[in-house]
Amino acid sequence: MDTSITLTVDGRRHDVVVDTRTTLLDALRERLAVTSAKKGCDHGQCGSCTVLLEGRRHLTCLTLAVAHDGDEIVTAAGVSALEGGAGDDAPTSLHPLQEAFLAHDGLQCGYCTPGQVCSAIGMLDEAKQGHPSHVTDDLEESVDPADLDDDEVRERMSGNLCRCGAYGGIVDAIREVAGGAPREGQPDRPAQPEREAAR
Amino acid sequence: MKELTYVRPTDARDAVARVSDDPHARFLGGGTNLVDHLKLGLLTPDVLVDVSRLPLDEVTRLDDGTLRIGTNVRNSDLAAHPVVRSSYPAVTRALLAGASGQIRNQATTGGNLLQRTRCVYFQDVTTPCNKREPGSGCSAIGGYGRYDAVLGASEACVATHPSDLAVALAALDAVVVVLGRDGERRVPMSDFHRLPGHHPETDTTLAHGELVTSVELPPESALTRASDYRKVRDRASYAFALVSVAAALELDGDVVRDVRIAWGGVAHRPWRAAAAEEALRGETYSEEAVRAAAELELAAAVTGPDNAYKIPMVRNATAYALRGLADRSSERTGATR
Ligand SMILES: Cc1cc2nc3c(=O)[nH]c(=O)nc-3n(C[C@H](O)[C@H](O)[C@H](O)COP(=O)(O)OP(=O)(O)OC[C@H]3O[C@@H](n4cnc5c(N)ncnc54)[C@H](O)[C@@H]3O)c2cc1C
Ligand code: SF4
Ligand code: FES
Ligand code: FES
């Protein structure tokens, strides 16, 4: 059955007719040519299709496009326009988190990166709202993004896989933007030479 | 995928009427399980009734202290809710041990309880499976058995229930509020999921068209506050349980005043370890006593070479969970043990 829906993607409004069975991911990629959301597994297991949906990180492969009529979506191609980003009028510039991914080598092939970036922005927002995680010791203690250590970042980002194994750089990039980036030699993260040697 | 009609019902009653009247209609929650099943061809509904936008998305404390959780409260919001964190920590811990941040933002409370087994054969339409296709046989029996149930299985099905949340709710005596054609009914968690018996195709005691509208937790108490959830899995994160334990413990000095134990990953439903609880209540707390109680509960367990590991694993996880609670209790009271 065909249904007409409206999606706002990276600030642009689209009216599009989709078959009811179309996932949001396929609607973005195949109907709207928004290819920054990537299809990895198509079964909720890799996180590469993550976008910010109504402000929260969300998979697009396990949801139907018709269920999102009227919703606002921001993909990695649109995050620079978000608060904390470079702003609307600088469409070619990057969000600080994207800059940090570059600075810390948080990617290799780049396929998982758009999902990682959206997930990280959503994750930091959750932390700002005080959400605990599986590795948070005291559930009643307040949570602050700057206090997230490597274990916290890894746990909160566990829904995003990276086949290239760029995890070390991804964690560093996120911690830098969170405001609690580890300094070299800090105990919870081996210093660079040690990491090199471990490869 | 088969042709599909999508509808947004006007309210809960409308949703119930639409699904009750049509054997090929299904409720759609966050879609994280159902949309996957559409893709895998496990499910071929004609109509999806999207209940995920119905205004059943609040956590409210009733006058008698009951905590009512609307079905559309997302797993992430329930986990982060201040009252749940402080008064029912097993619920927060169970949710945070499941799926991923993205999935928890999407998954609903009711959908979580009604998610279906992760049995590899159930998810593979090329293999026989009584749950998917009644009477076709069970590929897991004599097949890959690592995830198989050890308690309450039948010759028709040896699958386990995958929800972490359901195990915590079972331990805490939650009640599921359900709306049907004939009005509302309240189903204790202990009667919500079923054992497979001769009908593994049916996971729960809900009739077709009955809608979960909320889940209610009993008023907070010393017991609910001293609750926890421990999950054992193949990876540190983002994996289903091999076994899990939801537990609550109230000590009076050294004596077990009250205790709750429920297990995940061992049966077709969350397994409330009632015999183990009974054996511990009123007794002096010790790790040996906990292990003996778990042993008692496991007396009826049936295992094969692939899943025999679950017996020591669930016993150890139970001892670990209760030790953590006992240690915290003695920290609070300054008692030494
Ligand atoms: C990669 C991955 C990893 C996961 N890991 C875990 C894990 O570790 N632990 C865990 O517990 N879960 C895990 N899950 C499962 C996840 O928790 C469930 O898919 C989710 O909770 C289902 O909720 P939903 O709202 O998306 O349900 P849907 O997919 O929308 O629906 C599921 C079922 O519930 C029915 N339904 C929905 N709402 C209602 C209602 N109100 N009343 C009656 N019936 C209803 C639907 O008809 C359908 O049959 C994982 C999922 C994925 C994809
Ligand atoms: S264990 Fe149950 S779900 Fe798995 S193949 Fe057998 S019948 Fe199907
Ligand atoms: S493509 Fe959506 S999670 Fe892998
Ligand atoms: S950079 Fe290649 S998959 Fe992550």
Domains and CATH numbers, chain B: 5-50 (3.30.43.10), 225-333 (3.30.390.50)
Superfamily covering domain A2-78: Beta-grasp domain (3.10.20.30)
* Chain B residues with beta carbon closer than 8 angstroms to that of A139: 85-86, 89, 92-93
Higher pLDDT, A90 or B121: B121
Asked if residue B209 has pLDDT above 50, the reply is yes
Q: Tens digits of per-residue pLDDT, B227-253?
A: 999 999 999 999 999 999 999 999 999
- Please enumerate in sequence order all residues whose Cβ is within 8 A of that of B124, keeping only pairs 6 or more positions apart, or say none: B40
Superfamily covering domain A89-178: [2Fe-2S]-binding domain (1.10.150.120)
> What is the residue with the minimal CA distance to atom 3 of ligand 3?
A44
Q: Give the pLDDT of residue A93.
A: 84
- Hey, are the CB atoms on A154 and B237 less than 8 Å from each other? yes
Find the closest chain B residue to A42 by CA distance: B36
Q: State mean pLDDT over B260-275.
A: 98
Asked if residue B59 has pLDDT above 80, the reply is yes
Amino acid at residue number B48: L
Q: Give the pLDDT of residue A182.
A: 60
Q: Give the pLDDT of residue A193.
A: 44
On whether the CB atoms of residues B93 and B77 are closer than 8 A, the answer is no
Q: What is the C-alpha to C-alpha distance for residues A76 and A47, in angstroms, rounded to an integer?
A: 13
DSSP conformation letters of A6-17:
EEEETTEEEEEE
Asked if residue B275 has pLDDT above 90, the reply is yes
Domain boundaries, chain A: 2-78, 89-178
Q: What is the C-alpha to C-alpha distance for residues A14 and B285, in angstroms, rounded to an integer?
A: 63
Burial of B281 by CB count in 10 Å (0-12 exposed, 13-18 middle, 19+ buried)?
middle
Instruction: Scan residues 46-105 of A and list those with Cβ closer than 8 Å to B.
Output: 47, 50, 56-59, 62-64, 66-67
Q: State mean pLDDT over B34-53.
A: 97
Q: Give the pLDDT of residue A187.
A: 46
Q: Give the pLDDT of residue A197.
A: 44
* Chain A residues with beta carbon closer than 8 angstroms to that of B97: 134
Q: State mean pLDDT over B111-120.
A: 98
Ligand with an atom nearest the CA of residue B35: 1
Name the one residue in this structure whose structure tokens are 């969000």: A95
Q: Is A72 in the pocket of ligand 3 (CB under 6 A)?
A: no
% of chain B exceeding 70 in pLDDT: 99
Q: Give the pLDDT of residue A92.
A: 63
ipTM: 0.95
Residues of chain A with pLDDT under 70: 85-92, 181-199
Q: Give the pLDDT of residue A88.
A: 55
Asked if residue B101 has pLDDT above 50, the reply is yes
The lowest-confidence range among B8-17, B125-134, B268-277, B328-337 is B328-337
Question: Which of A50, A126, A139 shows the shortest C-beta gap to B85?
Answer: A139
Q: Tens digits of per-residue pLDDT, B133-173?
A: 999 999 999 999 999 999 999 999 999 999 999 999 999 99
